[in-house]
Structure 1
Amino acid sequence: MSGALVGIVLVSHSAEVARSVSELACGLVAGGPAVPVAAAGGTPEGALGTSAELILAAARSVDRGAGVALIADLGSSVLTVKALLLDEELPAGSRLLDAPFLEGAVAAVVTAATGAPLDAVAAAAGEAYDYRKV
């Protein structure tokens, strides 16, 4: 392990939702290492939507060389991340995770805080689909 933590970007159609999920996930690892997490929600004008520019800036801000995990909420946020990956615009080692937005974000941040590599962060986030509530 290099000491660098996996960076995490939360991509939502809503800036408020992305920020709130980021705050919750980071709050659950309070006292541990500060995982680099960035919210990329809404448009630059503050409306609902998706912005490639905000996603790129967020990914660059959390890149510490250990990979960047992107978790998107739905629709165009997923498509925008896929397009950025296809065009190789995101930092090297960036990956879109197949995970539920809230539970996946929490699992990803908690796992990243342990110093786990991107593959383990992705696995933990994806396993959040199996969380049962009843």
Structure 2
Amino acid sequence: MSGGALVGVVLVSHSASVAESVAELARTLAGGSTTVPVAAAGGTEDGSVGTSSELITQAARQVDGGAGVAVLVDLGSAVLTVKSLLAEGDELPEGARLVDAPFLEGAVAAVVTASTGADLDAVATAAGEAYGYRKE
């Protein structure tokens, strides 16, 4: 961790309201933590359904405190957009990582784990482990 900075979390959804709602829920379930930098990047610039490279880039820069940025996505084309940004090399902050995790459960796990001061590897692992959450 760099200078006490927390890992930032970006939530990318095709819907702005879904991204914002998941961010709010994750913050609330992390004890109302306002210390974890979380940003929603949902929809497109004009408010339509879709994904926006620009909104994702802005969100990642907003939450980057030097400890890394965990990027969670909802559906297929969001994955492709984030992978494209990572491949370009200079669009997302250094240390940004696409995290393979379920969107809602992974977001909660990521924000809760980041709130403990954990590093990016631990945040990504916790989010990914959410695939194993059983609901029966």
Equivalence map 1:99-114=2 (5 Å):
99-114=101-116
Indicate the larger mover: 26-35 or 57-66. Answer: 26-35
**Runs of 4+ in structure 1 over 4 Å off:** none
CA offset at residue 30 of structure 1?
2.7
Q: TM-score, normalised by structure 2?
A: 0.96
- Give the counterpart letter for 2:51 in structure 1: T
- The number of residue pairs the alignment matches comes to 134
> What is residue 48 of structure 1 aligned with on the other side?
49
> What is residue 93 of structure 2 aligned with on the other side?
91
Q: Which residues of structure 1 form unaligned runs of 5+? A: none
Q: Which residues of structure 2 form unaligned runs of 5+? A: none
> What is residue 126 of structure 2 aligned with on the other side?
124
Alpha-carbon distance in 2 for matches of 1:91, 1:55: 11
Indicate the larger mover: 53-62 or 25-34. Answer: 25-34
Alpha-carbon distance in 2 for matches of 1:40, 1:32: 19
Q: TM-score, normalised by structure 1?
A: 0.97
Cα deviation 1:102-127 (Å, max 9, x = unaligned): 00000000000000000000000000
Asked whether the equivalents of residues 27 and 34 of structure 2 are also in contact (C-alpha less than 8 Å), the reply is no
Alpha-carbon distance in 2 for matches of 1:130, 1:75: 20
Indicate the larger mover: 102-111 or 31-40. Answer: 31-40
Alpha-carbon distance in 2 for matches of 1:31, 1:43: 27
Alpha-carbon distance in 1 for matches of 2:41, 2:33: 23
> What is residue 18 of structure 1 aligned with on the other side?
19
Query: Are residues 43 and 33 of structure 1, via their aligned partners in 2, closer, same or farther at CA, if it must alter by over 3 Å?
Result: closer
Asked whether the equivalents of residues 33 and 113 of structure 1 are also in contact (C-alpha less than 8 Å), the reply is no
Please tell me the root mean square deviation across aligned C-alpha atoms, in Å. 1.0
